[in-house]
Structure 1
């Protein structure tokens, strides 16, 4: 089922420790790969590994990324290697490249009861079943996953 179709989404609360972007992406990547939801400690470990790879990806893609990062490139990358530095759009783009997966960012708006897509990254890696994250508009990211929906055929035991 594509993201464009109506399907209920369920927010998964992610610890707000400066790693929330990386934790939420790592959480979504686990689900996308068919793995179980990672525990809080596993999220932390996966987030720190992903953060290190993202910083390396910035360096690898310096010619393509330096112009859209704020401030001095080396200082920016050095800051992003620290476990409590917040990530944003540049990091989401690099996460998509590191994981080779599409990432879709959602946000609640005042005009809707359900979250709306506000950004998509890594579309070159496919468009179906993206890693989904929920941005709160104030700097925090949570995980987002499709709710389990029972279809009529499943209800009938078919």
Structure 2
């Protein structure tokens, strides 16, 4: 019985161990299944997260690509708009330049036409002035004399001609300076104004009134003046002593511009200017004031009138003497200024 009881006990123990082993096996299987399930769930979640991230990345890339495409299209559209704007601006600028060029061309043509009309008008006025001066003074047209300044000085001399000229059997002849009466001149049969040589010599007697003996200086000193285009004004300023060449140039130019109809030697200033330059008084005065024109006989006559002084003009004579070829009487008490005419366009001061 004891053995039987031991045997049963052992059998029960074995059964118990078997059941425990089965229970452990089931528990282990359940744990394994649970872990596998959890691992599967984790893998599924991770896979789902991976796919979600991939999808999100794909969406981000898609949106980025769309944004870049929008930006590219916007940039292209902006570039097209800018190109169109520039094209229109260039077309507008080209049109403006074309219109401006046409306007400049029109203005140039208008100016040329006006200049031609003014030139034609000045030609007519110059011919009238030449005719008037020739009638009143005997002065031929400028292109008929070799030394226009000497001819002008002769015509501008302030003393009037005598109504009836006295005979001068011993001269000097107005035509050739010979020792015979002018009407008996063996060299020039025509009137003085018909002879170029006679007009070049006109004035050597020293005064408009040829009945007076020529004025000859034998004790005068030449004061040289710079040949800078203002030598006459320098010479006048030296004699006047109270001004400068530039001030005198401006003063005379302004007077000419303001008084073109003022008479000098019986004729308006504008006629003398037309004869000498072919320009109107205002344009002549502007160029004179700017220094681009030399002073001459007209300015000498105007200076004498404005400054109310006498102005004597001399040439070199024989044996160091000086012969007066012209004088301008300003009608005042300002004394006399003496100039030496060196020919053509140069003057020096002459200290008497």
TM-score if structure 2 supplies the norm length? Answer: 0.34
Measure the CA separation in 2 of the matches of 1:140 and 1:6.
Answer: 20
RMSD: 2.4
SS in 2 for 1:104: strand
Query: Within the alignment, does 1:22 sit opposite 2:228 as a pair?
Result: no
Q: Equivalent residue for 1:47?
A: 245
Contact 2:307 2:330 in 1 (8 A): no
Taking structure 1 as reference, are residues 7 and 97 closer, same or farther at Cα in structure 2, changes over 3 Å only?
same
- The answer as to 2:336 corresponding to 1:124 is no
- How many angstroms does 1:84 deviate by? 4.4
Counterpart of 1:85 in structure 2 is 293
Relative contact order: is structure 1 or structure 2 higher (C-alpha 8 Å, sep ≥ 6)? 1
Moved beyond 4 Å, runs of 4+: 3-7
List alignment gaps of at least 5 residues for structure 2: 1-213, 262-267
Deviation at 1:56, TM superposition (A): 1.4
Higher helix share goes to which structure?
2
Which of the two has greater strand per residue? 1
Unaligned runs of 5+ in 1: 34-44, 147-158
Cα deviation for residue 49 of structure 1 reads: 0.3
Cα offset, 1:124, TM superposition: 1.8
Instruction: Tell me: CA distance 1:5–1:74, structure 2 relative to 1, closer, same or farther (3 Å).
Output: closer
Report what 1:39 is aligned to. none
Number of equivalences: 129
Aligned equivalents of 1:80, 1:142: Cα separation in 2: 19
Q: Does 11-20 or 66-75 show the bigger shift? A: 66-75
Using the TM superposition, give the Cα deviation of residue 115 of structure 1 relative to its aligned residue in structure 2, in angstroms: 1.1
Q: Whose radius of gyration is greater, 1 or 2? A: 2
Aligned position for 2:339: 133
Contact 2:216 2:322 in 1 (8 A): no
Q: Distance in 1 between matches of 2:307 and 2:257?
A: 16
With over 3 angstroms needed to count, the CA separation of the structure-2 counterparts of 1:83 and 1:6, relative to structure 1, is: closer
Structure 1 residue 4, shift from structure 2 partner: 4.8
Matched residue, 1:152: none
- Give the equivalent residue in structure 2 for 1:68: 272
Structure 1 pair 125–112 and aligned structure 2 pair: CA distance change class (3 A)? farther
- When normalised by structure 1's length, the TM-score is 0.72
Alpha carbons 2:227, 2:346 under 8 Å: kept: yes
Question: C-alpha offsets along residues 56-97 of structure 1, whole Å, 9 cap, x if unaligned?
Answer: 111232112111102222221111112242110001111112
